[in-house]
């Protein structure tokens, strides 16, 4: 088998993310950096497992994860809330709540984002965010930029869950991941490695992934920000960018921030009509 890294697929997504981060940084430079630094420092100082235990989590270690009870409901196994210290993320397989350490505090304390953030700040003796000299306009812009970035990460995370679920239909790809790549089944599940179906039988099909994501109201009109779709018209319909490729996600703070696709022997060699460049501008392939 010939497995190659498709440079276009990789850099495309990477550039989408980078250009978004780049735009954010240019717009409000120093204050943005300050707030990013604030979140980075806050999360760095609040290691997720120690925060969880402080909130009453009772998980026990199992491989690279911890398994314990969810505070929201009873459980027969007592193992539904899983925390991965390696990626500083968590997921309850019963109620499907998930995210980073801030989301974990929100989950345990049934509070909003700012309350959870302040709880973590108090815990490590950091000042609360907002106690700075930022103007109201800068703060508003910053929150909007952060919200858009969070939205893209949420869309990528949902997409990666979908790619992972597709593996069930492709036992040969599963065998290749365990045989060739030597990934254990636990790692494949933990990292949510997945597969983009080749769409060989129906090359003109619109994207099942797009249809899946569009069931989530907040994603409507935003799918192109992910770089996961091709299109003739920006308003749709959308076609899958990745076809017949293994999908490797990159995780940060419990969310997918980037992903790459590796070609397989069943990767179709078709052309797409449009794509977004690193500035987010729409380009036509033949122009
Ligand atoms: Zn739960």
Look up tokens 């069931």; give the residue: 215
Half-sphere exposure of 139 (CA within 13 A, CB side): 8
Integer Cα distance of 78 and 168 in angstroms: 26
Under a CB-based contact definition with an 8 Å cutoff, are residues 264 and 3 in contact? yes
Integer Cα distance of 209 and 239 in angstroms: 9
Q: What is the CATH number of domain 7-28+139-284?
A: 3.90.980.10
> Domain map of the chain by residue range?
7-28+139-284, 48-123
Higher-pLDDT residue of 54 and 34 is 54
What pLDDT score was predicted for residue 37?
80
Q: How far away, in angstroms, is 75 Cα from ligand 1 center?
A: 9
> Which residue pairs, CB below 8 angstroms and at least 24 apart, start in 126-132?
126/38, 126/41, 126/42, 126/45, 129/35, 129/38, 132/31, 132/34
Under a CB-based contact definition with an 8 Å cutoff, are residues 76 and 51 in contact? no
What pLDDT score was predicted for residue 42?
93
- What mean pLDDT comes out for the span 19-31? 47
What pLDDT score was predicted for residue 81?
94
Q: How far away, in angstroms, is 83 Cα from ligand 1 center?
A: 12
- What mean pLDDT comes out for the span 142-159? 90
What pLDDT score was predicted for residue 31?
64
- What mean pLDDT comes out for the span 67-78? 88
Say yes or no to pLDDT of 149 above 70. Answer: yes
Q: How far away, in angstroms, is 52 Cα from ligand 1 center?
A: 14
What is the band of 22 on the pLDDT scale with cuts at 50, 70, 90? very low
Say yes or no to pLDDT of 5 above 70. Answer: no
Look up tokens 């239909």; give the residue: 169
Under a CB-based contact definition with an 8 Å cutoff, are residues 204 and 255 in contact? no
What is the band of 56 on the pLDDT scale with cuts at 50, 70, 90? very high
What pLDDT score was predicted for residue 261?
87
Instruction: Give the range among 55-59, 75-79, 211-215, 258-262 with minimum mean pLDDT.
Output: 75-79
Q: How far away, in angstroms, is 57 Cα from ligand 1 center?
A: 12
Instruction: Give the range among 149-158, 166-175, 251-260, 275-284 with minimum mean pLDDT.
Output: 275-284
- For domain 48-123, which architecture applies? Alpha-Beta Complex (3.90)
Instruction: Give the range among 60-64, 93-97, 192-196 with minimum mean pLDDT.
Output: 60-64
What pLDDT score was predicted for residue 172?
92
User: pLDDT tens, 189-237?
Assistant: 999 999 999 875 555 567 889 989 999 999 998 998 998 988 888 788 8
What pLDDT score was predicted for residue 8?
36
Say yes or no to pLDDT of 153 above 90. Answer: yes
This model's pTM is above 0.85 = no
Q: How far away, in angstroms, is 28 Cα from ligand 1 center?
A: 38
Q: How far away, in angstroms, is 79 Cα from ligand 1 center?
A: 10
Instruction: Give the range among 43-57, 180-194, 222-236 with minimum mean pLDDT.
Output: 222-236
Look up tokens 């899958």; give the residue: 240
Higher-pLDDT residue of 160 and 148 is 160
């Amino acid at each position: 088998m010939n497995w190659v890294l498709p440079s276009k697929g990789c850099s495309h997504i990477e550039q989408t993310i980078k250009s978004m981060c780049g735009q954010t940084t240019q717009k409000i430079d120093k204050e943005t950096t300050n707030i990013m630094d604030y979140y980075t420092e806050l999360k760095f100082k609040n290691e997720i497992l120690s925060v969880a235990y402080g909130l009453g989590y009772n998980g026990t270690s199992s491989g690279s994860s911890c398994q314990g009870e969810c505070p929201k409901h009873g459980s027969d196994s007592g193992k539904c809330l899983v925390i991965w210290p390696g990626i500083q993320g968590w997921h309850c397989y019963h109620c499907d709540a998930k995210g980073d350490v801030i989301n974990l505090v929100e989950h345990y304390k049934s509070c909003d984002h700012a309350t959870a953030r302040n709880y973590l700040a108090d815990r490590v003796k950091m000042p609360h965010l907002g106690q700075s000299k930022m103007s109201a306009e800068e703060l508003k812009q910053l929150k909007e930029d952060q919200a858009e970035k969070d939205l893209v990460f949420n869309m990528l995370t949902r997409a990666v869950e979908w790619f992972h679920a597709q593996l069930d239909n492709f036992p040969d790809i599963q065998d290749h991941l365990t045989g060739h790549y030597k990934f254990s089944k636990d790692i494949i599940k933990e990292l949510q490695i997945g597969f983009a179906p080749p769409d060989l039988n129906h090359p003109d099909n619109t994207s099942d992934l797009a249809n899946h994501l569009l069931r989530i109201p907040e994603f409507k009109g935003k799918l192109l920000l992910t770089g996961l779709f091709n299109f003739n018209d920006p308003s749709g319909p959308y076609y899958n960018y990745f076809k017949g490729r293994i999908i490797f996600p990159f995780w940060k703070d419990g969310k997918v921030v980037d992903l790459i696709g590796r070609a397989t022997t069943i990767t179709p060699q078709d052309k797409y009509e449009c794509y977004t460049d690193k500035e987010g501008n729409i380009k036509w392939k033949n122009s």
